[in-house]
Every structure is written in C-alpha cells, then in structure tokens.
Amino acid sequence: MEFKNLIVDIQKPIAIVTVNRPKVLNALNLETVGELGAAFTMLEANPDVRAIIMTGSGEKAFVAGADITEFRGKTSPEMLPFAKKGHDVARIMESMGKPIIAAINGYALGGGCEMSMACDMRFAADTAKFGQPEILLGLIPGMGGTQRLARLVGLGIARELVYGGEQITAQRAYEIGLVNHVFPAAQLMEETKKFALKLAAKPSHALKMAKLAMNYGFDLSLDNALMVETQCFAQCWSHPDLEEGVAAFIEKRKANFHQD
C-alpha cells in the first residue's frame, strides 16, 4: 500500500509509521487522518509486525496539530467528518491487538497530542512540547482530547491544559503522567525501538488480551472490570503460548512463543 502523507517502514518484527508532512510540521488534514487509519488496519493484519512505533518526520514535530488551513470558511456539518474520522482512527489504534508506542520527537499539539494519547505508551524527546491549544482558536479538542487527557492525567490538570491552551515541556508531561519516558532527542528512536523489540518478543496473544482487558475494563465498575479481566485471562489458556511459557519456566529455558 502506498501513502502520500505517511512513511510505513516494516522492520520485522516492528513497524514504524511516520507522519511525513514536514513543511507543515506534520499537521493533520483529512487525507492524512484517513491514511493513518488505513496504515494501522494494514499493520494489524500483517503477521510479521508485532509492535508499532508512531512518529513524525524531521526534528521539529511529532504532529503539530490539525492543518488549520482546512478550517477556514468551513461550517459545522463540513467539519464533523474530520472529527469523526479522527475518533475512528484513534479507536482503531486503541482496539488493535498490537502495542503502539508514540516516539514524540517535537511538537505534539492539538490533534498530535490526541493521536499520541491513542497509543499505548508515549516516549518523548527532551525537546518535545505538548498541549491542547484549540481554545486559542475558539475551539475545543475534537479528536478525543477532552476525554483521553483527563483519563491519563486527571480531570484537574486536563482542565488546566484544555482551558488554558498552553504548551508544556516533555519533563512536565512526564511529571503529570502524560508520557512514560523522556530521552535526549538523539536517543529517542534508539530507545523506542529497543522497547518495541522487547514487546515484539513477548507472546502476542497475551499482549492482545492484556490490552483488551485494560482498555475495556478501565471505565467500568471494579466488579465488571474484573469480569473482563477474568474472560481475557481465560482466553490465554486457549493459546499454545501458555503451555510453551509454562514449560519454558519449568525447564529453565527461553520460551519460543508463536509468531502470530
């Protein structure tokens, strides 16, 4: 599959999805959002890919937001498909069985911050900047920012960022729990690849079940969430990876998990 605004680099057993619009700081237009959905759907179906990295082209930006040039003169009915497409792509990312790590190499603002929050983890360069600046345009976040941000950092801090529209540093993003790790910019991709390869070596079925249990149980009551966990736990017993993992532990050897 060929893409106009993305680079999809498959380096078995991982893949790197790069938003490639450096002249506009990798800003998202409707075409790019659609391509992201197609790319992640394609990678979900590729058995050679077991973990995915999402990043932005160049050193300045991961994704610096939506392409504001597409906003001018638009009406509410015309912009609804843009927001809906963004929601659809984020849900594809969250619901797919393979882990996605955002390697945030620069600005992650607006839609860029929102896309990063749809990833399982966020690794940031120490030069990265985060924010939901839509309020400065007379808007609010429209690709999940009012919802995922609060779930990650708490409602009070999310309100501060959404209401104020200010940018924060990578270190501050780490302090509030928005990112998992901060690395020197020159080491970001090396460290992200290293972790992605570790994930790719884990049993893929168990990873899928862990992701499903955590995503779908998070907003439920504890009793209902534990029921989700129980079902996902039980599903692990239907896969040969469990027998292999137990045997490897008992025999004191490295497990040879299925590559599916």
Q: 3-class DSSP state for residue 59? A: coil
- CATH (domain of 154): 3.90.226.10
Same domain membership, residue 123 and residue 50: yes
Same domain membership, residue 239 and residue 154: no
Q: What is the pTM of this model?
A: 0.94
Whether residue 16 is predicted with pLDDT greater than 70 in this model: the reply is yes
Q: 3-class DSSP state for residue 78? A: helix
Q: By residue range, what is the domain housing residue 143?
A: 6-200
**Helix axis angle, 222-236 to 204-217, nearest 10°:** 170
Whether residue 258 is predicted with pLDDT greater than 80 in this model: the reply is no
Q: Which residues are catalytic?
A: 114, 134
Quote the pLDDT of residue 66: 86
Mean of all residue pLDDT scores within the chain? 94
Q: Which two tokens stand for residue 2?
A: 């060929």
Same domain membership, residue 228 and residue 129: no
At 107-149, the pLDDT tens digits run: 999 999 999 999 999 999 999 999 999 999 999 999 999 999 9
**Residue 255 domain flag:** no
Quote the pLDDT of residue 259: 61
Same domain membership, residue 193 and residue 208: no
Same domain membership, residue 215 and residue 194: no
Q: For the residues 77-81, what does the mean pLDDT come to?
A: 85
Q: Which residues contact 189 (CB under 8 A, 6 or more apart)?
A: 53, 55, 103, 105
CA–CA dist 131, 145 (Å, integer): 10
- CATH (domain of 235): 1.10.12
Quote the pLDDT of residue 112: 97
Same domain membership, residue 229 and residue 147: no
CA–CA dist 172, 131 (Å, integer): 11
Q: Which two tokens stand for residue 228?
A: 């989700």
β-strands 51-56, 100-104 pairing: parallel
At 23-44, the pLDDT tens digits run: 999 999 999 999 999 999 999 9
H runs (alpha helix) in 13-144: 30-45, 76-95, 111-117
Quote the pLDDT of residue 260: 62
Quote the pLDDT of residue 202: 94
Question: Distances from the Cα of 6 to the Cαs of 17, 55, 127, in angstroms?
Answer: 7, 10, 23
